[in-house]
Structure 1
């Protein structure tokens, strides 16, 4: 078990690490800290002076205009060192100038410190008074004034003092905007999850009306990080008011998890007493019987408060240090990833071409994985399921083929068929809808109305034959006992009239899926919006439109070939289908003429008289025979054509024109495109704007600070 001395050294090392991290001012990393907040008239400066031994100079224009970090640390040498921690992402030249400011003194006189702080204000560009009208000056700053107090008797404690809340601006020195800015600054510090809020409240005011407590409750709704410090108890003259204060301090009033302390400030006219004098005076004050109850509870006096704050800060540091390390690692990875996404500086043409070439390589790599279904090869598929392109297209093709089989025909001819087709498994859910509000650039290419295919009309056999007869009688020629090819063409075109809207809707949806894929992937691999927008508008979108139009044109071409031309097939299944239908019709007729059973080889079979056979074959009119032949040919040819046509649409229009062909829209973004860009196009697309340059500089600075933070955390 470590000794008290060893434990103290360990604690000192931990607190020193946090102080070093704070010097780096990595704003994205919340650090364990004590922040002192209060109104300008709350006694905040007096509390800080008693806690730290640092006496803020009382001179015009030197009120707190920025956050002040006051660190007390035990060292052999007694001195005060004042420096400036620059605000995050400040201009490098300004940062160098701010960090160069460093003053160390042993003389803690008011005059010497006032002079140093006045110099610090000038370096930070603080407007000192209403007559200071120099351009570029500001009333408040995001820089941090760092005050290090060392000495052999010091107890390690670091507190952050923020500007006091004020209510009445005093133009031109302070304005309404300054008032809002200070409130926002204070609220920001209070909302940090690793901050202990030290709310300074005058005991002689109504606690329930103190706005600083309202702000603390907003930042720390459960009250687990807030401690109330009551000041000016000597101004509480009424017994009833004193009892209210005592109830708060003793935990009998409005509760905060860290409770309330009470301290006595030095008087307004007391400018000469030492810290030891004030501590002794405070002990005497709280020894009065009126306050003895809280004195016995150890909840009063600057000594007890300082000991409690040191304990809280140490506990918070031990608890949060692993989380701080995790945050630094995470933020460092994010910053490096962001810097990698925007790439190196792109001032020269060679750098611009290389940057675009890397984008193209990433696009082609992810697209190969998307078409091959290798979704474990890139993080993009986990983050954006819409990038699983081949899966989404396959589902759409299956749904399309199934709709063709179930509903693509105008009339149900199944009563004339002796076989059943098996439908595909239809994917669950609705097919993707075209979002033309998101992609208006393709609205004149695709079919804008989403087609919903209706169920086929159902006819009984006699009604169906009447329809066939009507077509035949309206279009017959001089054929005898047969029919012309035009009759089959007319009936087929009528039967397939849903094909066009079905096909064009499917191809349009597929174009929408491919277009969304390209847009989503481009957003994923290119974080620079300016590059994305210029690349999209200058190069990509017009070429995509041409290729989508080519796919739609080919779909219309295939529709014309299949539906408008003379029916034709070399598939032997067509004739086999016709023969099967004729055989099925004969079998049905013969079955009704069976007259009995004859035992043959131990098996009973149906017997049909030979005379019935001749009746079945011969006793038909020419028109009846032709109608049956037309129906059989139509049903058989429709089946062969449907199967052929669905495959051709999926393989040629979707597979070739949209996905894998040389003219596929997925191959618009390629290395040839980058090589063909001229100097002006390169600059417009890949040249850096001011925002990108600033963003890169900020990331470089963040990465340096975060890497320095990792060195501090590792102890190197």
Structure 2
């Protein structure tokens, strides 16, 4: 029985072609952690006694045992791998086609580094596998032989059981076709379709089965065997034409190849003698008309090597993309770590660059110019939180939305009570745009309660009736009292707005500095502590003072309503009283009622006027002047110049862990780049043209 010999000339020839490209591609696959690159896979499919085993022996010089009668009823997979240690392992898988059945795996006793007799292993597998019908069908078994050694090429060879067409072997035929079809379904498999050169109606039937899974023949190489058995000249000419791939009926994308099989009397001769006898046959007519690259075992090894190389190369686009993505991720992590800083001058120069870059980003954000990559893509979906990273980077747009939300909250919830008038119903309520709704919800302000105007006037009338002071003084004082009660929610709403504005600006500053310095860089935390935190602590105090200043007049000052309009309303009321009533007790009551109505009306007018002024003051004098426009002062060149050497050391000195992490990333980047270049050398160079 033949032995598996990795040092044979045939395997060495294949190995010389396949091993470098597979090694380089596999290295890149492992570095990208894809683990998706598979061994080049070849499946040999053909009829029973078509010469499949001879085909395998021809291009590997491994003796595959020949079973002429019924052949095997299981798949034989030979997995070759290149390694420093020689080892052979074999296992069999057993299982039926039932969904409830689980595939069982068991090792073969014959496995071991010194047991490389392929025929013996197959004999052991055949005796261990019980090919019995289960529910009218055969189980699908497989034999897997994994062979490792320093002289072996990386290859996955699948020897499928011979296809039967005869009716008496119906169950066998069905099992063999199912095993073959399951293998051909794999788009990574190169199919060797074996066709014997004999005059038979079913001789090319195997192509019909193959074409169901490879319609264009892009991964099918046709192999014509037993050319010396073609007795008639017509048969010889027919198969010689097929071998040239010129017959449109049998044309394949990978073409055809022709081989001569060993005869029964030649089983003991060497592979070199076998190749020599084959060459002698192909020098005769009509076989000599076949191109040299399409005949003989030697050229089959050459062609198959190129086909398998192309099969490996198909994975390069995805592998290359995965490599580029990983390199981008490594570059991003290195950027986040920042450069190593060794001296004070390097540290100060680094901080100058950070400050200059911050000034550029902050100024662009204040102008609302978002062309820098830091700001990301321009989007039209603003339905998100002000703390969302994509929104805080577009700071001017976010502040505009925040100010609009603030104004809406003041309009809808800024009054202590909503005064309704049945005679003059209010216009449509203010609608809150969908993109501002999430921002409005941050204010957590209670809804305004509704109060009918008549009830409020009656309440004011009672208060005026119990007051003995002068009429004008009492009415003006009442307007002030009503206004201060009505505007009491302003303080809490504005406090919330200042907090939201401050947190938004701070989030922008932190995002900008993280982008510039890197989130993995220790300097980021020190810069935030040194420059950012003190700035916003100061701004919190300034905004608190600014709010007191803006509310001082409305809470403590002498409220001066629009005097001309106020006196006109009073005079009109007095004139009406003089023409309709006499100075009786009822008249006095009507005057008080009129003054109460005037106070409510005047307060409402003044509230609307003051609301607009207050809103603009909060946005311009508070948010813009005290906070947003001051953002550039956080970190600039002057502040870097003021840093002492000791402070610079604290800012830029990194821990040993960071240094080691940077070195590891740089090494990984170097390995990936080298592996990618190695794979690119195996790629075919295209030709430019129109």
Q: TM-score range by the shorter chain?
A: 0.5 to 0.7
Distance 1:575 1:230 in 2: 115
Following TM superposition, by how much is the alpha carbon of 1:431 offset from its aligned partner in structure 2, in angstroms?
5.3
Deviations 1:306-327 (A, max 9, x none): 9999577424323123334444
Residues 424-475 of structure 1, C-alpha deviations (whole Å, 9 max, x = no match)? 763325655799xxxxxxxxxxxxx9532312322242x222221233345x
The 8 Å contact of residues 475 and 595 in structure 2, kept in 1 or not, is answered as no
Aligned twin of 1:647? 616
Change (3 A) 1:397 1:412: same
Match of 1:674 in 2: 640
In the other structure, the counterpart of 1:235 is: 124
Partners of 1:411 and 1:384 in 2: how far apart?
38
Aligned to 1:339: 334
Partner of 1:479: 470
Partner of residue 516 from structure 2, selected from 525, 529, 532:
525
Matched, 1:317 2:308: no
The equivalent of 1:503 in structure 2 is 494
In 2: Cα distance, 1:412 partner to 1:580 partner: 26
Please point out which of 27, 31, 34 is paired with 2:31: 27
Change (3 A) 1:669 1:513: same
Residue 447 (structure 2) aligns with: 454
TM-aligned CA distance change 1:635 to 1:405, over 3 Å: same
Structure 1 residue aligned with 2:105: 210
Q: Is residue 375–residue 388 contact of structure 1 (8 Å, CA) maintained in 2? A: yes
Equivalence for 1:411: 417
Contact 2:420 2:450 in 1 (8 A): no
Match in the other structure for 2:432: 426
Q: Does 1:628 align with 2:523?
A: no
Q: Could you say if the C-alpha distance between residues 616 and 678 of structure 1 is closer, same or farther in structure 2, counting changes exceeding 3 Å?
A: farther
| 1:513 is the counterpart of 2:504 | yes
Is the contact made by 2:401 and 2:436 (CA closer than 8 Å) also made in structure 1? no
Relative to structure 1, the CA distance from residue 504 to residue 31 in structure 2 (aligned partners, 3 Å threshold; closer, same or farther) is: closer
- Decide which moves more: 680-689 or 418-427: 418-427
- The CA deviation string for residues 269-318 of structure 1, in whole angstroms up to 9 with x for no partner, is xxxxxxx99998xx9xxxxxxxxxxxxxxxxxx99x99999577424323
With over 3 angstroms needed to count, the CA separation of the structure-2 counterparts of 1:232 and 1:432, relative to structure 1, is: same
Q: For residues 164-205 of structure 1, give each alpha carbon's deviation from its aligned partner in whole angstroms, at most 9, with x where no partner exists.
A: 99xxxxxxxxxxxxxxxxxxxxxxxxxxxxxxxxx9642499
Matched-pair contact (CA < 8 Å) for 2:365–2:396: yes
Displacement of 1:19 in angstroms is 4.4
Partner of residue 348 from structure 2, selected from 353, 375, 378:
353
SS in 2 for 1:396: helix
Mean Cα deviation higher: 341-350 or 229-238: 229-238
Aligned 8 A contact 2:355 2:636 in 1: yes
* Alpha-carbon separation, structure 2, partners of 1:549 and 1:614: 59
Q: In the TM superposition, what is the alpha-carbon distance from 1:708 to its structure 2 partner?
A: 4.0
Q: Distance in 2 between matches of 1:709 and 1:314?
A: 17
Q: Does 1:378 align with 2:273?
A: no
Whole-angstrom distance in 2 between the partners of 1:499 and 1:613: 41
Other structure's SS at 1:636 match? helix
What is the CA deviation profile of residues 8-58 of structure 1, one whole-angstrom value per residue up to 9, with x for unaligned ones?
Answer: x9x98897566456678981376985569xxxxxxxxxxxxx99999xxxx
Name the counterpart of 1:269: none
Give 1:644 shift.
0.8
1:380, distance to aligned residue in structure 2 (A): 3.0
Given that 2:414 and 2:487 are in contact with CA atoms closer than 8 Å, whether structure 1 keeps it comes out as yes
Shift of 1:648: 0.7
Check whether the contact 2:417–2:448 (CA below 8 A) recurs between aligned residues.
no
2:469 is equivalent to residue 469 of structure 1 = no
Structure 1 residues 617 and 164: alpha-carbon distance in aligned structure 2, compared to 1, 3 A threshold = farther
Pairing 1:700–2:666 present: yes
Q: 1:561 aligns with which of 525, 540, 553?
A: 553
Alpha-carbon spacing, 1:350–1:700, altered in 2? closer, same or farther (3 Å): same
CA distance in 2, matches of 1:432, 1:509: 12
Mapped to 2, the partners of 1:676 and 1:417 lie a distance apart of: 68
Length-normalised TM-score, structure 2:
0.55
Does the Cα contact within 8 Å between 1:522 and 1:532 map onto a contact in 2? Answer: yes
Q: In structure 1, how many angstroms separate the alpha carbons of the residues matched to 2:85 and 2:565?
A: 92
Bigger shift: residues 312-321 or 412-421 = 412-421
Q: Give the deviation of 1:378 after TM superposition.
A: 2.9
Q: Distance in 1 between matches of 2:119 and 2:362?
A: 65
Which residue in 1 is equivalent to 2:394?
A: 388
CA RMSD of aligned residues (A): 5.2
Per-residue deviation, 1:489 = 2.3
Distance in 1 (alpha carbons) for counterparts of 2:334 and 2:600: 69
Aligned counterpart in structure 2 of residue 368 of structure 1, from 338, 354, 363: 363
Give the SS at the match of 2:417: coil
List aligned pairs for 1:605-620, cutoff 5 A: 614-615=579-580
Given that residues 443 and 497 in structure 2 are in contact (C-alpha distance below 8 angstroms), is that contact kept between their aligned partners in structure 1? no
Describe how 1:489-500 pairs up with structure 2 within 5 A: 489-500=480-491
Change (3 A) 1:415 1:350: same
Could you list the per-position Cα deviations for residues 611-670 of structure 1 after superposition, in whole angstroms to 9, with x for gaps in the alignment?
x9933899674423432332233122212211111111111221122211x3x4x64233
2: distance between equivalents of 1:416 and 1:617? 30
CA distance in 2, matches of 1:313, 1:617: 116
- 2:74 corresponding residue in structure 1: none
Inter-CA distance 631–23: structure 2 relative to 1 (3 Å threshold): closer
Q: Secondary structure at the match of 1:375?
A: coil
Give how far 1:539 is off: 4.2
Query: Contact 1:550 / 1:657 at 8 angstroms: preserved in 2?
Result: yes
- The answer for unaligned runs of 5 or more in structure 2 is 1-12, 41-57, 63-78, 96-101, 108-117, 133-137, 143-159, 162-175, 192-266, 275-296, 378-388, 686-690
CA gap 1:642/1:418 in 2 versus in 1, 3 angstroms: farther
1:204-247 CA-partner distances (Å, limit 9, x unpaired): 999934399xxxxxxxxxxxxxxxx9992232363753678985
Task: Give CA deviations for 1:71-128 in whole Å, capped at 9, x if unaligned.
Answer: xxxxxxxxxxxxxxxxxxxxxxxxxxxxxxxxxxxxxxxxxxxxxxxxxxxxxxxxxx
Within 5 A, what are the aligned runs for 1:543-622? 543-568=535-560, 574-575=562-563, 578=566, 614-615=579-580, 621-622=590-591
The 2-side partners of 1:486 and 1:204 are apart by 98
What SS does the aligned partner of 2:341 have? coil
Change in CA separation of 1:160 and 1:646 when aligned onto 2, cut-off 3 Å: farther
Q: Provide, for residues 337-366 of structure 1, a one-character-per-residue CA deviation record: whole Å limited to 9, x for no partner.
A: 543443332121222223233333333322
Aligned counterparts of 2:423 and 2:523: Cα–Cα separation in 1: 60
Contact 1:33 1:158 in 2 (8 A): no
CA contact (8 A) 1:410 1:456 kept: yes
CA distance in 1, matches of 2:36, 2:269: 30
C-alpha distance 238-699 of structure 1, shift in aligned 2 (>3 A): closer
Task: Specify the SS of the correspondent of 1:238.
Answer: helix
